Amino acid sequence: TLQRPCALCKTAKVKCNYQFPCARCVRLGTECKLPPHVRRGRPPKTAESSSPPLSTHHDLANDKGGKWLAEDQQREAEASTKPPSSPQLSLPQPSPPQPYVKLEIQPPLPPL
């Protein structure tokens, strides 16, 4: 008996009786063949296919970080040299700080 349907039954998406040769292949007079086994799930890890060396990640991070830092510095420099294009909105000033209230907890009085 077979563990899975033959290639012809699988392709036709019909029930296979898992015999060799199966009843459908005998009836149609075709060769009964097993389809190639397809492994499912994650492929096994190998040493060379694992993550790239850390230096690659580090170099990429530095390249991007340096690029972004340079762009930010350039924007800041441009913003500080240009006069504002629109009038500044005046925001209300925060209220002055209020003094803190100190709470003292007294032990309970003994009963009379």
pLDDT tens digits, 70-107:
777 777 777 666 555 555 666 777 777 777 777 778 88
CA dihedral 36, 42, 46, 49 (to 10 degrees): 100
Q: Is the residue at 20 inside a domain?
A: yes
The residue among 26, 33, 41 whose CA lies nearest residue 11 is 33
Q: Is the residue at 67 inside a domain?
A: no
| CATH number of residue 31's parent domain | 4.10.240.10
Q: Is the residue at 54 inside a domain?
A: no
* 52 within 8 A of 58, measured Cβ to Cβ: no
pLDDT (0 to 100) of residue 53: 56
Q: Which domain holds residue 34?
A: 1-38
Q: Is the residue at 28 inside a domain?
A: yes
Q: What is the pLDDT of residues 83-93, one digit of tens each?
A: 555 556 667 77
Q: Is the residue at 18 inside a domain?
A: yes
Phi, psi (deg, nearest 5) at residue 93:
-75, 145
pLDDT (0 to 100) of residue 59: 53
Q: Is the residue at 26 inside a domain?
A: yes
Q: Is the residue at 80 inside a domain?
A: no
Element (H, E) at 60: helix 54-81
| The residue type at 94 | P
**Number of folded domains in the chain?**
1
Q: CA-to-CA distance for 58 and 68, rounded, in angstroms?
A: 15
pTM of the model: 0.34
Q: Is the residue at 31 inside a domain?
A: yes
